[in-house]
């Protein structure tokens, strides 16, 4: 009976989610292309020399932006949104089967994101709903609104050095002014197949808002040395507009990656309880809207826990296979505890870590510098400079470490409410300062 009910819950969830996910649709990956092309192709005006002289000299920069920056930014956002940790599969009110008969255990209600080795028990079903809000405002410690890319002029003399022509000393700074917010609604269900083996499914619906105002500023060497700007955003080289802005605001909602979770408890009742968890993200969501990395992921974790009265410490560690573009495989761990504070109330605390394993899949957003030799009208050298192509810190990895603190409250044996905040402890990756999660679990 419970298995049939579990199937009905899953079918209803999929149908409802698909209906909702199609209500709003937009290809968010086009936002960055539109910004780069609007500034570097459309808004940039020509000098008196005409299109044959200056009209396409930043087109090469536009091509590089759309071929390098857009895929990297898209992968960065999609991998962070789609890989946010699901809540624990642990049951709140559990039973001891060691005697062959189910005996209710009055204990802690379990962790929030990490796992303990316990399983639900044969025939038991848990259905849960979680809401998580992400405000992805930092990348490697830098505000996303302050992310800057510098575009250089085409090397028109083809000598390998910029500055032989006055125009080659002109550069364009582009600040993305980006604000990324995501709401994740996750419906999950877990069923105990045997006393030691659980199967679960999680279906996320994700709403993403990508908004901001990109600002571009021309660093005009031509205007400095000859009082006429050869690159500008208006038609008057003697009185040039050297700044322009491009606002953008796009929202999408859709179906994220459906996750199937398999958990097997193979040792309990001794010194330490042990289990293994397989997390399969099998049905990719829409990659173009940042709802998915576009590839199926697989995570395998070992779980260790020990119940000591009302206190349960736990350790999870494992390997996350992430085959998507610019999305490194990871070693992951979760170390924490949950403590029963009073009847029906549990406090949980955890340290969560994700460590990149493949440097070839690191995110690179215009690394390095470009050498420019500035000259005057007569061609005499004025000086030499190294132009940073971005203000984003260059790193070989984006390891992340977070702390999670939360409570579970059970007003009855069948209903558990949870609330949690996730706080970043380092600057790696694209991150929120604080991530709130609220949820409800019902045992059937």
User: Residue 273 sits in a domain of what CATH number?
Assistant: 2.40.160.40
| Burial track 287-296 (b if 16+ CB lie within 10 A, e otherwise) | bbbbbbbbbb
127/442 Cα distance (integer angstroms): 5
pLDDT in tens, the chain (444 residues): 444 544 454 444 544 544 444 445 557 888 999 999 999 988 887 655 544 455 578 888 999 999 999 999 988 998 888 888 777 766 555 555 555 555 555 456 778 888 999 998 888 898 999 999 999 999 999 999 999 999 999 998 888 889 988 999 999 999 999 999 999 999 999 999 999 999 999 999 999 999 999 999 999 999 999 998 989 998 888 999 999 999 999 999 988 899 999 999 998 877 899 999 999 988 777 788 888 888 889 999 999 999 888 899 999 999 999 988 888 999 999 999 999 999 889 999 999 999 999 988 888 888 889 999 999 998 899 999 999 999 999 988 999 999 999 999 998 888 999 999 999 999 999 999 999 999 998 887
**Which residues span the domain enclosing 241?**
2-443
Only one residue has tokens 């083809």, namely 158
- The pLDDT score that the predictor gives to residue 221 is 94
Q: Which residue has the tokens 């200056």?
A: 54
Sheet strands side by side (includes 138-139): 142-143, 138-139, 430-431
Residues 264 and 196 sit within 8 Å (Cβ to Cβ): yes
Q: Please give the DSSP secondary-structure letter assigned to residue 232.
A: B
H helices present in 206-309, as ranges:
221-226
Q: Are 108 and 420 in contact (CB under 8 A)?
A: no
d(CA 341, CA 38): 57
In sequence order, the β-bridge partners of residue 355 are 331
Rounded to the nearest 10 degrees, the angle between the axes of helix 29-37 and helix 70-82 is 150
Q: What is d(CA 417, CA 408) in angstroms, rounded to the nearest whole number?
A: 6
Q: What is the pLDDT of residue 47?
A: 57
Quick one: tokens of 22?
């199609």
What lies within 8 Å, CB to CB, of 19 at 6+ separation is none
- For the chain, what is the domain count? 1
Beta carbons of 270 and 258 less than 8 angstroms apart: no
What pLDDT sits at residue 366? 87
List of E strands, 306-368: 311-321, 330-342, 345-356
C-alpha span between 251 and 165 (Å, rounded): 43
347 and 375 Cβ atoms separated by less than 8 Å: no
Greatest CA separation found in the chain? Answer: 95
């Amino acid at each position: 009976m419970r298995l049939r009910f579990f199937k009905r819950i899953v079918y209803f969830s999929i149908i409802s989610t698909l209906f909702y996910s199609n209500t709003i649709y937009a290809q968010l990956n086009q936002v960055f292309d539109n910004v780069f092309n609007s500034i570097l192709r459309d808004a940039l005006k020509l000098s008196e020399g005409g299109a044959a002289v200056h009209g396409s000299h930043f087109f090469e920069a536009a091509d590089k932006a759309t071929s390098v920056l857009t895929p990297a930014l898209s992968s960065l956002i999609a991998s962070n949104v789609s890989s946010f940790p699901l809540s624990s599969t642990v049951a709140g009110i559990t039973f001891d089967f060691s005697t062959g008969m189910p005996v209710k255990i009055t204990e802690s209600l379990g962790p929030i994101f990490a796992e303990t080795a316990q399983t639900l028990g044969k025939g038991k079903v848990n259905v849960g709903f979680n809401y998580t809000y992400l405000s992805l405002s930092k990348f490697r410690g830098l505000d996303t609104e302050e992310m800057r890319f510098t575009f250089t002029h085409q090397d028109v003399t083809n000598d390998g050095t910029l500055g032989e022509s006055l125009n080659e000393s002109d550069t364009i700074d582009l600040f993305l002014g980006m604000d990324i917010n995501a709401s994740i609604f996750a419906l999950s269900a877990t069923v105990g197949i045997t006393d030691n083996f659980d199967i679960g499914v999680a279906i996320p619906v994700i709403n993403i808002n990508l908004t901001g105002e990109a600002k571009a500023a021309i660093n005009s060497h031509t205007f400095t040395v000859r009082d006429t700007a050869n690159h500008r955003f208006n038609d008057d080289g003697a009185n040039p507009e050297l700044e322009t802005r491009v606002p953008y605001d796009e929202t999408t909602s859709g179906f994220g990656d459906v996750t199937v979770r398999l958990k097997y408890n193979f040792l309990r009742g001794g010194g330490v309880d042990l289990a293994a968890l397989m997390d399969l993200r099998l049905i990719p969501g829409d990659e173009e809207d940042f709802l998915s990395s576009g590839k199926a992921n697989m995570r395998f974790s070992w779980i260790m826990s020990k119940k000591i009265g009302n206190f349960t410490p736990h350790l999870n560690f494992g390997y996350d296979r992430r085959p998507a573009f610019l999305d490194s495989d990871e070693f992951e761990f979760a170390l924490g505890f949950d403590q029963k504070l009073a009847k029906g109330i549990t406090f949980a605390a955890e340290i969560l870590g994700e460590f990149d394993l493949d440097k070839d899949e690191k995110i690179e957003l215009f690394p390095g510098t470009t050498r420019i030799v500035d000259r005057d009208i007569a061609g005499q050298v004025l000086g030499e400079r190294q132009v940073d192509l971005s203000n984003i810190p260059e790193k070989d990895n984006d390891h992340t470490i977070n702390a999670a603190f939360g409570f579970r409250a059970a007003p009855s044996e069948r209903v558990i409410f949870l609330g949690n905040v996730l706080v970043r402890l380092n600057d790696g990756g694209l991150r929120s300062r604080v991530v709130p999660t609220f949820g409800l679990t019902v045992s059937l």
